[in-house]
Amino acid sequence: MATENLDIDFKGTDVFQGSKIIIIATYTGDTSKHQTVSDSSDITVENTSSNQNVIISPYKDKYRYKHTDNKGNKIIAPYIIEIKNSTENSSIKLEFSIKNVTNSTAAGIKDITLTQHPYSDHDLQLKSLFPIVIGSNLIEDFSPAPDGQLPDNQKNAHLNVLIYPRNKSGVAMNNCQIALKVTNIEYMRLYNGETEVPPFNDNMYYINTGDDGNLDVTIFARQMASSYFKEVIISNVIGDETAPPSKNILIITKKILPSDNFDNPTIEYLDGDEVPPPSSKLDISFNANLPYSDTLTSTDTIYIMSKVNNQYNTLCTSDLYGNRKNIDEPFKIPYDIFTPLQINTLFYYVLKLNGNIYRSRELLFKLGQSNDYLVPSGNLERVTIQDSSGLDFDEHHVLGIDSVKNGLTCIIPVGDKNQVQLGDKVDYYIYVIRFDPETDDPSVDNPLIDSKSIKPKDVQAKQIHVSIPQSALMGFNTDSQGHPSPIAIYYINNGREYSKTWQAYIDTQPSDL
């Protein structure tokens, strides 16, 4: 039997000036106390604070609307709350109340207090609000799951989009709401965990961050009726403006054959089929050029693609053909997409303004071997990383100041196949790309954290726990585009066997430094 309860789905306290948030209130009556909802029952919202820079309106779309559930004895009422820009920065207090439910009690009233944040680097780490795409910005799925069916993570291509809002002090903004603006929203499906989030009626998604302050959603392709190639643009709307930079995601649901009108791209300094490796750790890309073609125009969008290791297509870079200073300006291809000595292909798509799409012929190539460029990756099992309370961090998580304030624990598996054994000596490392705050030039930190010898008690426990101190994790900032520093954690066994790498991101530079 349900007890009386008024639930507010927005659990946070932080809101952004000039923004809107969606709050869905759900009231459940206790039938044993004769608390029965009816069509005249309602949930109201009132601003009870002295701050009047708030507009409260009922919200309705085909998925979310005010209604009563007589069978469940519930009322569901969505509201859209607009926080206006103002010099008045005092807290906003909202009171949710039940109306026209007999015998309702104080449980039918709930207050929430909201703290305002202007869209300003005086109050927020603005770069922490930029969306990060985990993957190659490409979803190529020739058999998307139909609407109403849960996509399969193993069979259906997808991408993860991550945002990790932090205030000026680097503290996570837990359970705050992020508004994602999406162009061509009808061609994608968005999941928060295993729950599909239908789009709102303004081509937006309003999604609450988790208890850890991170927003991590998964995007799948939707079956297309009239097209098979769409570019979806995702940006984060904060205040009165869209927080740059936006992220362009390419969705392809049909195989596109090469066209005779577009020859393969060329790679500068190609030696046979081999691209020279990076000359240093600061050398992050190589140049590719498009052959001259009468059919290319300044309004064409070019997508440089690669079939990496002859297994899966990856979007390397994209731009309007006319955006460059001249048609001979090369496209920059990131080295870190490729593993040395594997066979890859390079090609490009040309998207015309009328929607027609063409694919070029392919160029075979491989990346030359480099000993000091890529993060080491071997066959030994990767580590597990935990915070000071023993909670696991997923890969691709963004580690903030609050995440590492007590250091991290690195757990190395022991005793089984592809694991270290009794008597082995294990050296474990972190590898972080650091960005210069003035020039944006990357550099690499790759310190040895510690060494351990495997003892009988470790074999019995099937793992060893080693600590990564806070001092090794502080002072890493984002680049000029808001991307946090990549971090990898790995170990070497007996000086010769490498583990697989645990990879994530880190942003631990205090804003006032």
Give the model's pLDDT for residue 512: 55
Tokens 């757990």 found at: 411
Which residue from 491, 277, 478 is spatially nearest to 383, judged by alpha carbons? Answer: 491
Query: 460 is written with which tokens?
Result: 């019995």
Q: Is the dihedral of CA 491, 494, 496, 500 positive or negative?
A: negative
Residue 281 reports pLDDT greater than 50: yes
Residue type, 168: K
Tokens 């054959």 found at: 257
Give the model's pLDDT for residue 513: 45
Rg (CA), the chain: 26
- C-alpha angle 486/488/491, rounded to 5°? 170
Percent of the chain topping pLDDT 70? 94
Whole-angstrom CA distances from 434 to 160, 164, 172, 478 are 23, 19, 21, 8
Domains of the chain plus CATH, in order, are 5-117 (2.60.40.10), 126-252 (2.60.40), 266-309+319-367 (no CATH), 384-506 (2.60.40)
Banded model confidence at residue 239, pLDDT cuts 50, 70, 90: low
* Residue 180 to residue 183: CA distance in whole angstroms: 10
Q: What is the pTM of this model?
A: 0.71
- For residue 245, whether the previous peptide bond is cis, meaning omega lies within 30 degrees of 0, is yes
Tokens 């310190």 found at: 447
The widest CA-to-CA distance across the chain, in whole angstroms, is 83
Could you report the per-residue pLDDT of 51-74, keeping only the tens digit for each?
A: 888 999 999 999 999 999 989 999
Taking the CB of residue 113, how many other CB atoms lie within 10 A of it?
11
State the Cα torsion 243-245-246-251 to the nearest 10°. -160
The answer to whether 303 and 351 are in contact (CB under 8 A) is yes
Give the model's pLDDT for residue 130: 82
Residue 241 reports pLDDT greater than 60: no
The answer to whether 321 and 301 are in contact (CB under 8 A) is yes
Could you report the per-residue pLDDT of 284-306, keeping only the tens digit for each?
A: 889 999 998 888 998 999 999 99
The answer to whether 464 and 452 are in contact (CB under 8 A) is yes
Give the model's pLDDT for residue 262: 93
Taking the CB of residue 106, how many other CB atoms lie within 10 A of it?
8
Residue 135 reports pLDDT greater than 70: no
